Amino acid sequence: TIVIALVTGSFLFCLGVSIAAFLYAEKQRRYVYVLDHGKSLIALQTDAVVSKDIEVSDHVARFHELFFNLAPSSESIKETLDKAYNLADRSAYDYAQDLAEKGYYTRMISANITQQMMVDSVVVDVSGYPYEAVTYGRLYVLRESTLTESVIETHCKVVDVARSSVNPHGLMIEGFAVTENSVKETRKR
């Protein structure tokens, strides 16, 4: 009976150690180590459903930063807009083309105007698909003698696509529309 108890105890001990080691290894696989300029950062892998609203919000905010933050240079404008087009469908391109046809970018370059958008918030609804997003922000137009602040609001839908190096979230903005763009104030510099 002593031998049977020792063998049974040894088997249960080995089984417990094996289960604990498996659980520990599974837990460690959820951690990802990221190097950022020589600094090691730890990131925790989560379920995609849990973080979908955060990813959609970040994707939409990044698109707005690229689309609206413009320097008075044709090369810079083209490069920045091309990066933004990778995150959206034809609706963003059509909106930019409409501005180009009205001479907006040409006036920016000739008058040395800088434009910057500050995203205040992105409200995301991931309860349905495609996801809906409303972006609220402030648009600053910096001229040589004045600074104009506008309130801007945009609406769009967001769908899942394949992840890539130019679209790391694997999301695509559809039906992009500026629903409000009103001047709040203009002040001297």
pLDDT tens digit sequence for 53-63: 888 999 999 99
Asked if residue 187 lies in contact with residue 147, where contact means CB atoms within 8 angstroms, the answer is: yes
| Higher pLDDT pick, 82 / 52 | 82
Whether residue 47 has pLDDT greater than 60: no
Confidence of residue 37 (pLDDT cuts 50, 70, 90): low
pLDDT of residue 170: 87
Task: Find the mean pLDDT for residues 18-41.
Answer: 78
Mean pLDDT of the chain: 88
Whether the predicted pLDDT of 46 surpasses 60: no
